[in-house]
A and B are shown apart, each in its own frame.
Chain A
Amino acid sequence: SYELTQPPSVSVSPGQTARITCSGDALPKQYAYWYQQKPGQAPVLVIYKDSERPSGIPERFSGSSSGTTVTLTISGVQAEDEADYYCQSADSSGTYKVFGGGTKLTVL
């Protein structure tokens, strides 16, 4: 079955830039989405269509795509950004959706 691969953890100091990657063979064909999840809460969509940001999501969140890897970038990280981040996409046929394993962002 199709898989998306994320690093388990990323750590940054406040004000620095955090980059979280997500790799998958079908990413050149399928859009990627990013979700933020804080403890005890439901996920929140922070990036859609690889690089678009829903209204209400701070501008410091951005997304990019290059080949089989997509990247979530958080510029000027704040303490409130500490959370788990999940990428999501679909297999090459678009039939089955899949989530990456998640990345825990720690703000030092």
Chain B
Amino acid sequence: QVQLVQSGAEVKKPGASVKVSCKASGYTFTSYDINWVRQATGQGLEWMGWMNPNSGNTGYAQKFQGRVTMTRNTSISTAYMELSSLRSEDTAVYYCARVNIYFSDGMDVWGQGTTVTVSS
């Protein structure tokens, strides 16, 4: 079945970087954009940016520009989100989500989430 499986939880110190992976299966990875969304504990969803796995083109939310990098490895159908200069406010669950043009660019498949904890 169609699914996105994310890497496991991470604990990082302030100032470090984290790289979260998102492995796609059950569909053609290069045919659908991947978006990244995060959610701090008890808070709402926050959109971080998008990546086109076919071209590698990306677009980032203004809040994260300069700190986030979204990449992919098409040979293993995996997308990555790297966030640098981590601070405590980056502690959150990070989700990858597939964007489906058949749903007018709605996010129809989500990963299970990766918890990133930033603590000294």
Nearest A residue (CB) for B48: A97
Q: In the assembly, what is the distance between CA of A44 and CA of B61, in Å?
A: 22
Interfacial residues, chain B to chain A (CB-CB below 8 A): 35, 37, 44-47, 50, 59, 61-63, 95, 97, 103-108, 110-113
Main secondary structure of the interface of B (DSSP, over half): strand
One digit per residue, 1 when the CB lies within 8 angstroms of any chain B CB and 0 when it does not, for chain A 25-67 equals 0000001010101000011110011001010000000000000
> Is B62's CB under 8 angstroms from A1's CB?
yes
Q: In the assembly, what is the distance between CA of A96 and CA of B95, in Å?
A: 17
* 14 A-B contacts (beta carbon < 8 Å): A42-B113, A43-B95, A44-B110, A45-B103, A45-B106, A45-B108, A49-B103, A49-B104, A88-B45, A88-B107, A98-B47, A99-B37, A99-B44, A102-B44
Nearest A residue (CB) for B103: A48
Point out the residues of chain B lying under 8 angstroms from A97, CB to CB.
35, 47, 50, 61
A76 at interface by CB-CB < 8 Å: no
Q: In the assembly, what is the distance between CA of A34 and CA of B65, in Å?
A: 26
A24 at interface by CB-CB < 8 Å: no
Q: In the assembly, what is the distance between CA of A37 and CA of B50, in Å?
A: 21
One digit per residue, 1 when the CB lies within 8 angstroms of any chain B CB and 0 when it does not, for chain A 82-108 equals 000010100000011111111000000
